[in-house]
Amino acid sequence: MAVRAHSGRRPGDSGTREAIARAARRQFAELGYDRTSMRQVALEAEVDPTLVSHFHGSKRQLFLSVIGLPFQPADVLPGLLAGDPDEAGARLARFALGVFESEDGRSRAVGLIRAATSEPEAARLVRDLLTREVLTPLAEGIGSDDAAYRASLLMSQIVGLIMARYIVAVEPLASRDHLAVADAIAPTLQRYLTGDLSTQLPQSRQAVSG
SS3 per residue for 108-167 = HHHHHHHHHCCCHHHHHHHHHHHHHHHHHHHHHHCCCCCHHHHHHHHHHHHHHHHHHHHH
Closer by beta carbon to a copy of itself, 4 or else 196:
196
CB of 12 to a copy of itself, least distance (A): 31
The string of DSSP letters for 29-87 reads HHHHHHH--HHHHHHHHTS-HHHHHHHH-SHHHHHHHHSS-SS-HHHHHHHHHSS-GGG
Q: How many CA atoms lie within 13 A of 91 on its CB side?
A: 18
Residues of this chain that interact with a copy of itself (CB under 8 A) are: 31-32, 34-35, 70-72, 75-76, 79-80, 87, 90-91, 94-95, 98-99, 113-114, 116-118, 123, 126-127, 131, 148-149, 152-153, 155-161, 163-165, 167-174, 176, 180, 183-188, 191-192, 195, 197-201, 205, 207-210
51 or 91: whose CB is closer to a copy of itself? 91
- The verdict on whether omega for the bond into residue 172 sits within 30 degrees of 0, i.e. cis, is yes
5 vs 123, which CB is nearer to a copy of itself?
Answer: 123
Q: Which is nearer to a copy of itself, 16 or 144 (CB)?
A: 144
Q: Distances from the Cα of 67 to the Cαs of 38, 62, 64, 127, in angstroms?
A: 15, 8, 6, 14
Minimum distance from residue 50 beta carbon to a copy of itself (Å): 26
- Residue 11: strand, helix, or coil: coil
Closest distance between a copy of itself and the C-beta of residue 66, in Å?
18
**C-beta closer to a copy of itself: residue 64 or 159:** 159
- Least separation, in Å, of the C-beta of 124 and a copy of itself? 9
What is the closest distance, in whole angstroms, from the C-beta atom of residue 31 to a copy of itself in the complex?
8
